Amino acid sequence: RTSLMDYLGFFTNSTSLLASLIFIACGVVGIRGLRRPSWLDEQRAVAVSCVILVGVGYNVLPGVGTAPGWVSTLLHAVVPIVVTLDWVLVGDRPMLPWRRLWLVLPYPLLWLAMIQYRWATDQWVPYWYMHPSQGALSLSLRIGAVLAGLFVAGGAVWMASRYRLSAGAVSFPASSPISVPLPSFPSLPS
């Protein structure tokens, strides 16, 4: 059974596609030397949050992968680590307002609605923990846990937007007197 709906039914696939489009848009804006609009920064933060959820979810929940090993490693370990490091280490992001953290919800809720539709039309769900046969309460608790995990990931992304790495130290908000020196490495002889 290969279809576009099956492919996009997996949160990893739809998140990777969505995140790629957002990252490409950010790159195009940057290459053109334009100022990135705040909505694009927010969508980038949402994409980072969802990619983190993909990485953590895959590596914590048993038996959720169906892809070949190298694909799973790339999508569930390498990409989440690279995307997280990009968000944390590259200082091109603004400080995100906490009142906008709710933006992490619309895309996953739309994905969940699609999954419920797929179950109603052809009894297909992408992950064992989403199967309705486990009971409405169990399914509700699992979906609640996924959304809570998303809020934790989003909170971490929003929090990271408040800090900047500078040469030699981590820069904290002005209200914080903390400065953490970064290790220095000796240069290699040429």
Residue type, 115: I
Supply the pTM of this predicted model.
0.79
The enclosing H or E element of 164 equals strand 164-166
Query: Is 182 within 8 Å of 169 (Cβ atoms)?
Result: yes
Rounded to 5 degrees, φ, ψ at 64 are: -100, -10
Per-position pLDDT tens, the chain of length 190: 567 777 778 888 899 999 999 999 999 998 999 999 999 999 999 999 999 999 998 888 766 666 677 877 888 889 999 999 999 988 788 999 999 999 999 999 999 888 888 888 888 888 777 788 888 898 889 889 889 999 999 999 999 999 877 554 445 454 444 444 555 555 555 5
Torsion of the alpha carbons at 3, 139, 62 and 59, rounded to the nearest 10: 80
